[in-house]
Amino acid sequence: MSILEVRDIHKSFGGNRVLKGVSFSVKEGEIVGIVGPNGSGKTTLMNIINGVIRQDKGSILLMGKDISSLRPSGRAKLGMGRTFQITRLFSNLTVLENVLIPLHYGSPLPATEETAIEIIEAVGLSHKIRDRAGSLSLAQRKRLELARAIALKPKVLLLDEVFAGLNPVSIREIVELLLKLNREKGITLILVEHVLKALFKLTRRVLVLSEGRLIFEGSPEGMVKDPEVIKAYLGERYLKDESA
Ligand SMILES: Nc1ncnc2c1ncn2[C@@H]1O[C@H](COP(=O)(O)OP(=O)(O)OP(=O)(O)O)[C@@H](O)[C@H]1O
Ligand SMILES: [Mg+2]
């Protein structure tokens, strides 16, 4: 059965038609990648799936239930987690406090320091537990953003460019962490990503969004050979990166 169903989503901002009928479904326990050029509507699609913005047309189903009219907090309670392309942390609070907040508000997990510490260990931030979020590096802020999403015990986790700006070591560590979350906790992962090398270590199924429409759905191997995907997204940049 599908854990998530996205049905014919349309969205315009003023006269700008950003999503033009996007439909796909994700099975429980799957890892799916969504890629596409800048401005193709990926973040808008994530925002619609978790309820940050409302679609003009279409619906979102979580475990068969239409959640289109719920706010993000209501969707989170049903198991929809999310990290943001631009991290949304409380800079003046410590790492521990940043994780305790979602544990206190809306998580089925016990809102104890012990739970928070366990999650912080899982994302590799134990050594920063008493540091203010504002003092963290980009890679550490991304780990903390992930910890805050995990604290809500999601069934489906949406990740918007979790690898952007990270060095290869951090990327490898976060790939391992995500694989562990998927295997051990059964969390379904949907990743919007430009770092294809990392994405392809995680997923066997990729969707390509271009100008608000899905132009490809299939394996990474199929994707990199698809003429329309090469034209719309990969172009010379990818071919150059791969030969480097
Ligand atoms: N709140 C908004 N108001 C008006 N226009 C918006 C808004 N959010 C997004 N857009 C427009 O929608 C289009 C798609 O943006 P979106 O952020 O979804 O793209 P993206 O695929 O995530 O790009 P990137 O890879 O750069 O993150 C862009 O033209 C953007 O300017
Ligand atoms: Mg985006």
C-beta atoms surrounding 118 within 10 Å: 14
pLDDT at res. 239? 58
CA 43 – ligand 1 centroid, Å: 7
Is the domain of 193 the same as that of 218?
yes
CA 36 – ligand 1 centroid, Å: 12
CA 19 – ligand 2 centroid, Å: 13
| Measured distance CA(125)–CA(123) in Å, rounded | 6
Kindly provide the residue ranges of all beta strands, DSSP E only, lying in the chain, ordered along the sequence: 2-13, 16-27, 31-35, 57-62, 65-66, 80-83, 156-160, 188-192, 205-210, 213-218
User: Which ligand 1 atom sits closest to the C-alpha of 212?
Assistant: 14
Is the domain of 129 the same as that of 31?
no
Question: Is the dihedral angle over the CA atoms 143, 149, 152, 153 positive or is it negative?
Answer: negative
Is the domain of 75 the same as that of 110?
no
Coil, helix or strand for 119? helix
Is the domain of 160 the same as that of 239?
yes
Is the domain of 127 the same as that of 227?
no
| Nearest to 147, CA basis, from 91, 182, 101, 92 | 101
Is the domain of 37 the same as that of 96?
no
Domain end residue (candidates: 124, 153, 182): 153
Angle at the Cα of 150 (from 147 to 152), degrees rounded to 5? Answer: 120
Domain end residue (candidates: 123, 153, 183): 153
Number of structural domains in the chain:
2
pLDDT at res. 237? 59
Is the domain of 215 the same as that of 147?
no
Is the domain of 101 the same as that of 128?
yes
pLDDT at res. 181? 93
CA 88 – ligand 2 centroid, Å: 15
Which amino acid residue places its CA nearest to atom 30 of ligand 1?
Answer: 39
pLDDT at res. 1? 79
Is the domain of 114 the same as that of 213?
no
Domain that holds residue 109: 87-153
CATH code where residue 64 lies? 3.40.50.300
Is the domain of 131 the same as that of 179?
no
User: Which ligand 1 atom sits closest to the C-alpha of 41?
Assistant: 18
Is-contact 159 190, C-beta < 8 A? yes
Residue by residue, pLDDT tens for the chain (244 residues) are 799 999 999 999 999 999 999 999 999 999 999 999 999 999 999 999 999 999 999 999 999 999 999 999 899 999 999 987 777 889 999 999 999 999 998 889 999 999 999 999 999 999 999 999 999 999 999 999 999 999 999 999 999 999 998 999 999 999 999 999 999 999 999 999 999 999 999 999 999 999 999 999 999 999 999 999 999 998 865 655 554 4
Best substitution site from 9, 22, 42, 162 to test ligand 1's pocket, by max atoms within 8 Å of Cβ? Answer: 42
Bridge partners of 216, per DSSP, are: 208
Is-contact 98 141, C-beta < 8 A? no
Which amino acid residue places its CA nearest to atom 4 of ligand 1?
Answer: 13
